[in-house]
């Protein structure tokens, strides 16, 4: 059985390899709730899959992503990321983001992203 450290490390590695959707399919619960800052949350894997695909398909230039810090707690992981990319609607994005994941049954059930908008 994978530990939370192994799961979040594997998820991060998939993102770094450009396989964000593979990470989503492998590590996200069917009832996942995802939220960007204080925007309304997106509920369920189907709606979140669509949201994730739209985001990845809108990146016109990807320069890098780097996980800077990872923290593991009781059923919780947090990753501080540095991202640099160009998005067709958002323009050039070079920013830091904190991702907080709650885990259930070996999958992410709740994830919230914190970043300057």
Q: Which of 17, 10, 6 is nearest to 64 (CA)?
A: 17
Other beta carbons within 10 angstroms of residue 38's beta carbon come to 9
Question: What pLDDT shows up at residue 86?
Answer: 97
Question: What pLDDT shows up at residue 79?
Answer: 98
- Is the model's pLDDT at 38 over the cut of 90? yes
Question: What pLDDT shows up at residue 117?
Answer: 75
Please report the domains of the chain, with CATH numbers, ordered by start residue. Answer: 4-115 (3.10.450.50)
What pLDDT, in 10s, does the model give residues 73-111?
999 999 999 999 999 999 999 999 999 999 999 999 999
Question: What pLDDT shows up at residue 110?
Answer: 98
- Show the tokens assigned to 76: 């919780």
Pair 113, 99: CB distance under 8 Å: yes
Pair 2, 51: CB distance under 8 Å: no
What pLDDT, in 10s, does the model give residues 50-71?
999 999 999 999 999 999 999 9
């Amino acid at each position: 059985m994978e530990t939370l450290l192994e799961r979040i490390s594997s998820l991060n590695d998939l993102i770094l390899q450009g396989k964000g959707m593979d990470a989503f399919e492998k590590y996200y619960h069917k009832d996942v709730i995802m939220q960007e800052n204080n925007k309304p949350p997106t509920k369920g894997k189907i709606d979140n899959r669509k949201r994730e695909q739209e985001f990845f398909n809108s990146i016109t230039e990807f320069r890098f992503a780097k996980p800077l810090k990872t923290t593991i707690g009781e059923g919780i992981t947090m990753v501080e990321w540095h991202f640099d990319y160009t998005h067709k609607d958002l323009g050039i994005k070079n920013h830091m983001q904190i991702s907080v994941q709650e885990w259930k049954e070996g999958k992410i059930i709740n994830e919230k992203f914190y970043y300057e908008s």
